[in-house]
Amino acid sequence: MRSVVIGTMQVPMRPLTHPAIPLATSGAALLSVLSGCDAGPSTRDCDPRLAYCDAGIDAKTFDVPARPDVRPIDVTDLYTGLLSVSITPENPTLVVRGAVAMQPFMALGRYADGTQRPISLGTWTLTRARAGSIDPATGRFTATGQVGDLTEVHYELPRPGAESLRAATNLTVRFERDFFSAPSTEADRARFATLVPDAAREVIVRYPLANALVPQNVAPPDVQWEQGAAGDVYRVRLSKPHVAVTGFVTHSGAGFRFDWTVDPAGWRALVESDLEEPITLRVDRATAGAAIEGAARTLRVAQGSLAGAVYYWDLRAGRILRIREEPTGPVRENFLPNPPQRPTGDRSRCVACHTVSRDGLQMAAELWEGQGPSGVFDLGTDLTRDPAPTRFPVVDSASAPSWVYSSFSANATRLIANRLGGLFLVDPATGRTVPPAAGTLPQGNSVQPSWSPDGNTIAYISEFAGDGPTAFASSNLSTLPVTAPDSFGPATQRVMGASLSAQREAGRALAYPTWTPDSRWLAFQHGPYSESDRAGATPAAPRTRFPAALYLVAPTGGTPTRLTNASADEREDDAYFPNFSPFVQGGHYWLVYFSRRDYGNAQAGTRGSGRRQLWVTAVSTGVVPGTDPSNVPYWLPGQDVASDNVSGFWAPQPCRPRGMSCTVSSECCAGTCGPNASGQLVCNPPPPEAACRREGERCGANADCCDGLSCAANVCLRPPG
């Protein structure tokens, strides 16, 4: 197998001829005769009929056959005595280093008289075109320059009145890129020629976590480590069988962050190549007199992408922020900078205890630090005005709509909510309480309701006992059937908090139930307390921190399954307030939660600070009771590491799909806002001449997306595989 290197030199040439070639001719000599390359030092004009003239290939390091149509062959002569066909070169490797790279192939016919001749007829195909494409007539392969792969090249020659002749060979495409962060230079490569093991001086990688599972479209990770001194050079290498991405980083002294964010082009090659293979990560350290080998760890990539936006509470700012995925990476938005203000007193603008509808168009939240009313915001409109508009007026009155926790129905026409210790229904358009049409809602010590995506069941925390409806030390999980619109059946207790008291995190408090998007499972938090910490008994006493773990259970009850991979860091169980993404991707449910676990190191991350950050774990859809279906999590990109971030809610992109009411076209996922047959303003399909939406752009239907993309969660995404 030969390695192909693309250069920039002209090809030495001599006049081209195609004599019959004896079968005994060597491969190298054969290619030399076919290409017409001159072994001498002179350089002549390149014959434009040759495939490699376009690529600018260095003939001294690369034997390239001529394009098959260089010498016309009489069709009658072509088939006379033809026994078989083969492909040359055999099993080549094409190394792509960022430039356009091409690999020409030639078909050779083996004849009864013992000769081989190039064949210009026939068709060329690939078994997989992920790494590039092949010209069906000429056999010239052109790499995309974006991924690596192993594929088969096939050639087929039809024969009149007989079976076609076929041949195949493997083509390996390797993506290799080196990146140098100043003051590192290409000369630093040589410092890693010989690696030695030395546990005392070895780099300690702090992020990503070993064996974490990430979606394909996650932002490039910020690799973070510890160990080293000024002047050290670090080689950060991420690899798969057909990809190698390497970053060189020099310790610059005070202020050095011990990190390197993987280049976006390199990261794309890693996640889209060798889909079944994990990424191997290693950070080597070149210090005085030696290059110290780092320990290898793996990072896995799920065959699926996540879309939408995550709404979370920034405790420092007292605001709900939004992280949405864009083609260029995650964007953190203060989309609600000016919530309604308390008219008197401290003039608070705090927003908390939010929930988001499953269509991504409404957010309900508690205002003014729990001392005032609640409001509902239309996420499909501009909320940067002062004050931000609400769906119904927010007033400072004892009779104003007010709740703590809430959850939207599947069609977003109702909220199930609690204020203190009882559940009630709210019309989110008016804020008015809606009495049940049939049945009753639990009124005693019942909080944190969660409406199932299929609309049939409400899960909630029951029988809580402790400091109040947000802070308690004992509780259970119950469900309530929805029998008809605004109608409910009798409640059933599903999990008792005391039944899990023997687990490592101990305690009897269950909290924050959340549904998988297919309504098959419930996740919840368990520990000694419903919150992650509590103030001491006196102002001088330190705050008490509580461990917590996540569990999964069927809505019909049974033994809960502990999500240990998601819950435990290197020291303790530390996972709180789970919320499932409303989408199933890559055979997984995706669960966002907050944790005080360390993210990375102290310089670039949160190590040692105890700050709460949002993490995401993939939970296998093939749940086997008693077996942990969760995976090692990843840190949600886009957060501010200097803030405490909690209570993440995942929702589709906040735009209006086709047929939904609108006021201006910018509210629509695609198309324009215009009248329908009844004269109402709705989002209409885009005009025929409109450009298709590219990967990562908003959409309202599959037809809005460019070829090969589908509209999921109002975003054009590329299907896995």
Model pLDDT, residue 3: 40
Mean pLDDT to the nearest integer, 7-31 = 35
Residues 530 and 511: beta-carbon distance below 8 Å: yes
Task: Tell me which of 381 and 718 has the higher pLDDT.
Answer: 381
As a whole number, the mean pLDDT across the chain is: 88
Distance separating alpha carbons of residues 537 and 212, to the nearest angstrom:
39
- pLDDT, tens digit, for every residue of 355-413? 999 999 999 999 987 768 999 999 988 999 999 999 999 998 888 999 999 999 999 99
Distance separating alpha carbons of residues 404 and 417, to the nearest angstrom:
7
Distance separating alpha carbons of residues 508 and 524, to the nearest angstrom:
13
Q: Which of 174, 202, 226 is the last residue of a domain?
A: 174
Residues 166 and 217 in one domain: no
Residue range of the domain that includes 146: 3-174
- pLDDT, tens digit, for every residue of 490-522? 999 999 999 999 999 999 999 999 999 999 999
Task: Tell me which of 1 and 638 has the higher pLDDT.
Answer: 638
Model pLDDT, residue 160: 87
Model pLDDT, residue 43: 29
Among 276-280, 569-573, 687-691, top mean pLDDT goes to 276-280
Residues 61 and 14 in one domain: yes
- pLDDT, tens digit, for every residue of 304-338? 888 889 999 999 988 999 998 877 889 999 999 99
Number of alpha carbons in the 13 Å side-chain half-sphere of residue 68: 27
- pLDDT, tens digit, for every residue of 632-682? 999 999 999 999 999 999 998 888 888 888 888 888 988 889 999 999 999
Model pLDDT, residue 50: 30
Task: Tell me which of 261 and 666 has the higher pLDDT.
Answer: 261
Residue 349 in tokens: 């603008």
Residues 83 and 127 in one domain: yes
Number of alpha carbons in the 13 Å side-chain half-sphere of residue 573: 20
Mean pLDDT to the nearest integer, 582-610 = 95
Confidence grade of residue 569 (pLDDT, cut at 50, 70, 90): confident
pLDDT for 18 beyond 80: no
Mean pLDDT to the nearest integer, 702-721 = 83
Residues 133 and 195 in one domain: no
Task: Tell me which of 4 and 111 has the higher pLDDT.
Answer: 111
Percentage of the chain exceeding pLDDT 70: 88
Distance separating alpha carbons of residues 712 and 707, to the nearest angstrom:
14
Residues 187 and 288 in one domain: yes
Q: Which of 256, 272, 301 is the last residue of a domain?
A: 301
Residues 166 and 48 in one domain: yes
pLDDT for 71 beyond 70: no
**CATH number for position 234:** 2.60.40.10
549-553 and 522-527 strand pairing: antiparallel
pLDDT for 70 beyond 80: no
Angle 229-234-238 from CA coordinates, rounded to 5°: 150
Q: Which of 264, 281, 301 is the last residue of a domain?
A: 301
Model pLDDT, residue 698: 84
Model pLDDT, residue 430: 96
Residues 274 and 189 in one domain: yes
Residues 279 and 144 in one domain: no
Residues 64 and 199 in one domain: no
Model pLDDT, residue 546: 95
Residues 268 and 193 in one domain: yes
Model pLDDT, residue 258: 98
Does the residue 682 lie in any domain? yes
Answer whether the bond into residue 652 is a cis peptide, omega within 30°. Answer: no
Residues 366 and 400: beta-carbon distance below 8 Å: no
Residues 10 and 131 in one domain: yes
pLDDT for 42 beyond 90: no
Angle 346-396-423 from CA coordinates, rounded to 5°: 110
Q: How far is CA 330 from the centre of its chain?
A: 10
- pLDDT, tens digit, for every residue of 432-451? 999 999 999 999 899 999 99
Model pLDDT, residue 15: 30
Model pLDDT, residue 26: 38
Does the residue 425 lie in any domain? no
Distance separating alpha carbons of residues 649 and 491, to the nearest angstrom:
26
Residue 533 in tokens: 């910490």
Length of the chain: 721
pLDDT for 65 beyond 50: no
Model pLDDT, residue 182: 94
Residues 6+ apart with CB under 8 A from 349: 318, 319, 338, 339, 340, 341, 342, 368
Please give the DSSP secondary-structure letter assigned to residue 543. Answer: P
Q: How many domains does the chain have?
A: 3
The structure's pTM equals 0.86
Ranges 51-60, 87-96, 319-328: which has the least confidence: 51-60
Distance separating alpha carbons of residues 634 and 600, to the nearest angstrom:
11
Residues 222 and 94 in one domain: no
